[in-house]
Amino acid sequence: MSIRMRWTIFILICVIGIALLTYRQVSRAALFNRVASNNMRARVAATQILLDKKIIPGAFPAQSVVVRNKVSKALAKIGTPEAIAALINLLSDIEDDPRRFAKDALVELGEPALPALTQALAEGDANTQKKAIEGLSEIGAPAIPYVRMLLTDAATQANACLILGNIGADKKSSPQTAQEALEPLINSILAADTTLANAAIPILSDKKVVAAVEPLRQALKVEALRANALSALGDIGDARATLDLIPYIANKNLRVSAVRALGKIADPRAAAPLVATLAERDRDYRSALTLALQKIGAPAAELLIGYLKSPDVYVRRAAAQALWGDAVPNTIPALRQALLDKNEDMEVRAAAAAALGWPQNTAAIEILLIALHDPEGRVVDAAVNSFADIGPSAIPALMPLFVAADPTYALYASHALVKMGDAAAPALMQALDSPQPQVQLWASITLADLGYRQAIPKLIQLYEKSQGNFKWTVAQGLRKLGATLPAAPQS
C-alpha cells in the first residue's frame, strides 16, 4: 500500500472519529437542552437516557445551573437507585440552588432515599452533610430508625442528634413521632457515653425539651456533663432546676453560666442568693448578674433598693443597673435619691436615670427634668432615653422645653420625642400651629428627624410664610423628608 493511500485512510479515520465525537456531543447537548425544558415528560425521558448512558452524574459540573436545578425533579420522578445516587451527587454542587433542589427531590422521594442520605451524612463533604441533615429532618418519622443507628458512630452522632432534635421539635410531628425522635437523646444524657450525652444535651437545650429536665438535673452530678447540663437547664427555663443551680453561683468556673441560667429561669427564689453577690468585681459575672436580676424583676427589685445606699460604689452601680426595666414603683424614691445626689458616682446616677424609664411612669417625669441639668452627658443621655421609654405621657412635660432660654434643653426634648417614634407625631403636628415661633421651629426640626412625611404639607405652609434663618431651617427639614420646595415667586 502506497504512502498516499495510508495517509488517505488515516485522514478518513480521523474525519470519521471527529464526526462521531461531534455527533456524540451534539446528541448530549440536545439531551441536556431537553432536561432544561419546561416539558416534564421530555425532561424525564432525557434524564433517563443520560442515566442509562452513565453520562450523569459525571457531566453535571459542565452543565449550566438551570440544567443542574431542573434535573432534580426529573430524577425524583425516575426514583431508581441510579437517580438517587445522582441526586446525592448534586448535594455537593458548588452552588446552593442545585443543592437545594436536589435535597427537595430526595425529600419528595422519602423512604427510598433514606439509605443514601444516611450514607451521605457519614461520608459526604460539608455541603452534602448540611443538605443531608435538612433532608433527613424534613422526611421526619420514616428517617428516625436510620438516624438512630448513626448515634453509635462518633463521627456522625452530633449530626444524628441534630436531626432527631429537628424532627422532635417540628410542629408538624405527631406526639408519637416527637417522642420517638427525642427519647434516644434524653436517654443518652445518663448513659455511659458522655461524648454522645454532650452532643445530645445542646440539642435538647436548643429545642427546649422539658422532658429532659429531670435527667439534666441528675447530669449536674457528672463532671463531664455539668457545664452543658447547667446551660441547658437555663435554656429550657424550668423552675424545678432553680435550687440545683444556686450552689453553682459559688463555683469559680461555672458561676457565670449558673447566673445566666438562673436569669433565664427567672425564679424569685434565686433573687436573694444573686443579690448577695453584688460586690463581685469580675466584669463577665457582673454583666450576667445584672441581666439575671433584671429578668427576675420585682422580687429582686425589692431587695436591690437597700443596696443603693451601700458604701461600696461597685455595689451601688450593680444595684442601679439591675433595676433597669423592672417597672417597680417602690423603687422610685431610692432611684430619685441616687439620681439627684450631686456627690453620687456618675455611673450610679446614669443607671438610676435609666432605671426610671418605663412606660407610663409619670411619677419619674419631674425627677428626669431635673436630671437634664446634670453636668455629666451620660446622665443626661440616660434621662432623655427614659423620657422616650415613658412614652407619650411625657410629652406635655417636654414641649415647654422648646421655649427654654437655653436651646440645649429644646434639643434634649427633641431627641426624646424622636426616640418615641410616631407616637410623638400628633403632638408635634399640633405644635406647628403654635403662636410661639420657637415651638414651631423645634416641632419642624423634630418631625424631620422623625422622618414623618405626613408633616410635609404643613411644613410647606410654614416654609411659605416664614423668613430668614427660620425659613432656612424649615427648608432643611423638608429636604430631609424628600420634599420639593415650592418655587420662589416671580418678581
User: What is the pLDDT at residue 33?
Assistant: 85
Q: Which amino acid is at 287?
A: S
pLDDT tens digit string along 314-347?
Answer: 999 999 999 998 789 999 999 999 999 999 999 9
| Sequence-distant contacts of 155-164: CB under 8 A, at least 24 apart | 155/122, 156/121, 156/122, 157/195, 157/196, 157/199, 158/199, 159/121, 159/129, 159/132, 159/133, 160/121, 161/185, 161/196, 161/199, 161/200, 161/203, 162/133, 162/137, 162/203, 163/133, 163/136, 163/137, 164/203
User: What is the pLDDT at residue 11?
Assistant: 66
User: What is the pLDDT at residue 26?
Assistant: 45
> Would you say 240 and 217 are in contact if contact means Cβ atoms under 8 Å apart?
yes
What's the pTM? 0.82
**CA 257, CA 249: separation in Å to the nearest integer?**
9
- ω into 61 cis (within 30 of 0): no
Give residue for cell 456524540.
24
User: What is the pLDDT at residue 35?
Assistant: 85
pLDDT tens digit string along 66-103?
Answer: 989 999 999 999 999 999 999 999 999 999 999 999 99
Low-confidence ranges of the chain (pLDDT < 50): 19, 21-23, 26, 491
User: What is the pLDDT at residue 59?
Assistant: 87
**CA 444, CA 428: separation in Å to the nearest integer?**
8
Angle of helix 157-169 relative to helix 194-206, nearest 10 degrees? Answer: 30
User: What is the pLDDT at residue 100?
Assistant: 96
User: What is the pLDDT at residue 1?
Assistant: 62
- Please tell me what DSSP assigns to residue 64: -
Q: Which amino acid is at 444?
A: S
User: What is the pLDDT at residue 23?
Assistant: 43
Angle at 265 between CA 241 and CA 190, to 5 degrees: 35
- Phi, psi (deg, nearest 5) at residue 115: -60, -45
